[in-house]
Structures are given as C-alpha cells and as structure tokens.
Structure 1
C-alpha cells in the first residue's frame, strides 16, 4: 500500500480525529494504487462502509486531491446512473510521500556513476516495457493514426494518468494529433534523467507504429507533456537515437536529497 500524506489532512488536522485522518489516508492510497476505481471497490477492499468511503472521496474531490470520472462505455451495465470512478489528481500525486523520489534519484545517480549512462537508458526502457504491453493491447492495429492516438490517450487515462488527445493543424499542411499528459509521476526524477522521458517517447512510437515528436515536458518546466503525432503514412524512427535534449538544458548532478548542482558527468 502506498503511503500518502494528504494535503487536506495538514490543513484541517485539528478538525479531524486521528482515526478519521487514517481512514482518509487509506482511501487516498487505495485510489493511488487502483485508480480509476469506484467507491464500492474501495469500501470492499478496506472493510469500510460505502457512506464513509464516499464522504472521504467527495471531500478530496472538492479539495482537488482526487478527480471523479464517468466509467468507460464498455464498463457501463444495467440501469441507472453508472458509478463514478476516482483517480488521483496532479495535486494529489504531489502529496504522495516524496521519499521514493529521493531514493530513485540516489539509485539512478549511483547506477550512472558505476555503470555509465547506458545503464540508466537500459533501466528506463525496461521500466516502460510493462506499460507498453498494456497500452498496445488497447490500441487497435487497423485504425487511423488519429484513432490510435485517441485510444492511447484513453488507455493512459485508464491507467490513472491525466491524458487527452486533440487534433491540430487542420488545413495547414501539418495535420496531426497531440497527446497531452497533465501529470508525470516521475517528474522530479525525469528532471535529472531525461532517459525516462525518451524511453516513454520511444514506447509511444512502438505502440502507435509511427514516429512521434515531443514538444514539451513537465520535467522541463512546461505545464503539460505534449507529444505530436503526424498524420499520414507511418514514419519509423531509428531505434538507436540518443535522448533528445533541449538547448536550455545544462549539466547537472543529483544528490541523494534530490538537490541538483552543476557538474560535468550528468546532463539533462
């Protein structure tokens, strides 16, 4: 179970009992692990009553910690309004314990120092292999590029990511679809190790069967990760190209506390 420090708990700790705060933390953690997930499943897994779970869910949605979504069409059954599913919002992800980021930064820094940058790149590729397999199953092989990007965005959203797709460039000669991701669970680590962003981009290329271009990333300080997918015949990208590095990026080193200082060995 993920350990969670809820921002709402810090603001209203004096108004809630310790038991109430522990329950809220458990509900938040369950959504972080299982989202999108309905309230009934959380209640069953945690051994809580439905009203108690919904009270915490509604409170966290109101505070922006969670987001409530309608279930996918394929999951709607029976009569009546379908049960909402809950995912952790970007603000909610930021409230998750940061110790994992510090540990990941320290581990990857050590790996780069001992084995070299190629070991970090290999780790990044392996990390996205499992996600790539799940995404590939959700993207139809015979569909158009635009339909495939829409399916990829839906699959990412189903995994708990904030993802959407939108058409761009209609009538300008640069038609395509942009895949937008409003949250990155490894943003702090990716700031120091762009191999993670590059591995994700390459996974998207393999899932979509065409070349894609990263226009912006949260790790670079942008408000959203934006990936442009051009329409037209598939364009395969070379599989051995190095991570794309922006002109504004400077060499960095990462300490075990997550602080960054100039050095020659680590590049963004």
Structure 2
C-alpha cells in the first residue's frame, strides 16, 4: 500500500510531466525558437528568453541545457556596467559557430568561390570594390535615417541602419563610450575568408561617426557578437558638425 508521501510525489511528478508536455509540444520547434530569439536579440539570460517566448524559466533552462550539450550555444557572465549589486551576475547565452551554421546556406560557399575567382582574375582592387559596394547600402540607410532624425544619437542611428540590413544591432553602454553590438552577421562565413569585409565596415563606422572607433570582436573570428567601441567624443562631434548633409 502506498503511503501519503509516495502518492504526493506521484501526483507531483505527474503534474510536472503534464506541464512539460503543455509547455513543450515539440522540443525541436521550441529550441529553434530559443535559438532564433538569441540570434535576433543577442546574448540573453534564461529569464529574458522565458519572457519573450512565453515559457517558464525552468522550461527554458531545459532547452538551454540541451542546446549547450549539443554545442549550439555557450554561456558567459553578463557584463555589468556601473556598480554591481550583491550576488553573482546572471549568465547570458549566445550562439556558437555551430549554432549559427544552421542559419547559413550554400550561398555562402558560392560567394566565397566567386570572390576567390574574382581576386585571382582581377586582383585585390576588385575585391576591395566588392567590399565597398557592400557597405554602401549601410551608409545610404544611415544617411536616410539621420536626415529623418537629426537630433538622435548618431551611434544609435548607425545601429538602427545596421539592423535594417540584417545585423540585429544594438547600442550598449561601455567604459569611456558605447559599444555597437551586431548580434548577427549575414556575411560571417565569407568574412572568415575575406577579412577585408570587416575592415571596410569598420572604416565606414569611423567616417560616419567622425571618430576613431575600434573593432573589439567579430563573429567571423569566432566571437559571439561583432563589437565596436565608440568613444565619448562622438557626442561632441555630433553637436559640432550636426547631421550630415545629403549630397
């Protein structure tokens, strides 16, 4: 005969299983949603993911554990700017190269092959022209947004123009400035072979913001986020020269 504790435990286990089935109708689908949320919002805590996806933190942690075991995500301590409160900082989860590979296609291989042939046939100047043409679209979007919002922080405008081009960018606080964080890179696989793409992009950031920005990390080099440091003098520059004049 079962005692009351056995019965209670049985009911508890049954309820937990029922809740799990309700929350996770398809593990693959839910885990895809978790990965997609991290891709589009950048490194995230379990609580942030639970809030976005409408799941309990416990359910999200189960998926994060499975994704971590498969090598699709990794975690690190959340960066804290300013004074840190009591307790350990939360952990944020980000996509690994393996996790990002699910979002890349055979077009990356085609682009790499085409650029290799172009460089071999026409030389490095032709490759530089391709890299410049790629960032011309970013510049055009930036100038369009600056004209519409001349009083907005130019670094924020740049982040928004990058997001419009698929980079899922945000502007984050940092010591002695801010950081433009690009949580996705549509050309990451190509940039691994042709780092000129990243170099031209960084130069464009400096030109648009009127400041010597510094690229700290790139997805192409295996980092979780492309990170560019924007020093505080950008705000001074913006007030001095005002919004760019369209030509």
Normalization by structure 2: what TM-score?
A: 0.53
CA 1:97–1:220: 2 relative to 1, 3 Å: closer
The equivalences for 1:208-219 within 5 A come to 208-219=209-220
Q: CA deviation at 1:201?
A: 1.4
Look up the SS of the partner of 1:138 in the other structure.
Answer: helix
Whole-angstrom distance in 1 between the partners of 2:212 and 2:146: 16
Q: Is 1:202 matched up with 2:209?
A: no
Equivalent residues in 2 for 1:99-110, closer than 5 Å:
99-110=106-117
Hey, what's the Cα distance between the residues in 1 that align with 2:104 and 2:32?
Answer: 21
User: How far off its partner does 1:97 sit?
Assistant: 5.5
Deviation at 1:197, TM superposition (A): 0.6
Q: Does 1:149 align with 2:182?
A: no
SS of alignment partner, residue 224 of structure 2: coil
Contact 2:166–2:185 (CA under 8 A) maintained in structure 1: no
Q: Give unpaired runs (5+ residues) of structure 1.
A: 1-58, 70-88, 170-174, 236-268
Aligned mates of 1:139, 1:206 — CA distance in 2: 14
Q: 1:139 matched to which residue of 2?
A: 146
Instruction: Assess, with a 3 A threshold, how the Cα gap between structure 1 residues 162 and 219 changes in structure 2: closer, same or farther.
Output: same
Identify if the C-alpha distance between structure 1 residues 60 and 158 changes in structure 2 by more than 3 Å, giving closer, same or farther. farther
Query: What whole-Å deviation, never above 9, does each CA across 1:21-79 have from its counterpart, x for those lacking one?
Result: xxxxxxxxxxxxxxxxxxxxxxxxxxxxxxxxxxxxxx57863354499xxxxxxxxxx
How far does residue 134 in structure 1 lie from its aligned partner after superposition?
0.9
Q: What is the alpha-carbon root mean square deviation over aligned residues?
A: 3.3
Partner residue, 2:120: 113
Structure 2: distance between partners of 1:158 and 1:99: 23
Which residue pairs with 1:122 in the alignment?
A: 129
Within 5 A, what are the aligned runs for 1:1-268? 63-64=33-34, 66-67=36-37, 94-96=101-103, 98-139=105-146, 143=151, 147-169=153-175, 175-232=176-233, 233-234=236-237
Larger Rg computed on CA atoms: 2
Helix, strand or coil at the partner of 1:139 = helix
Local SS of the residue matching 1:166: strand
Superposed CA offset, 1:175-205 (max 9, x none): 2111011111111110110111112112222
- Secondary structure of 1:183's aligned partner: coil
Determine the C-alpha separation between the residues in 2 that align with 1:155 and 1:108. Answer: 26
Matched residue pairs, number? 155
* CA–CA distance in structure 2, aligned partners of residues 130 and 162 of structure 1: 15
User: 1:71-102: CA deviations, max 9, x gaps?
Assistant: xxxxxxxxxxxxxxxxxx97986334621111
Does structure 2 conserve the Cα–Cα contact (< 8 Å) formed by 1:60 and 1:66?
Answer: no
Shift of 1:158: 3.6
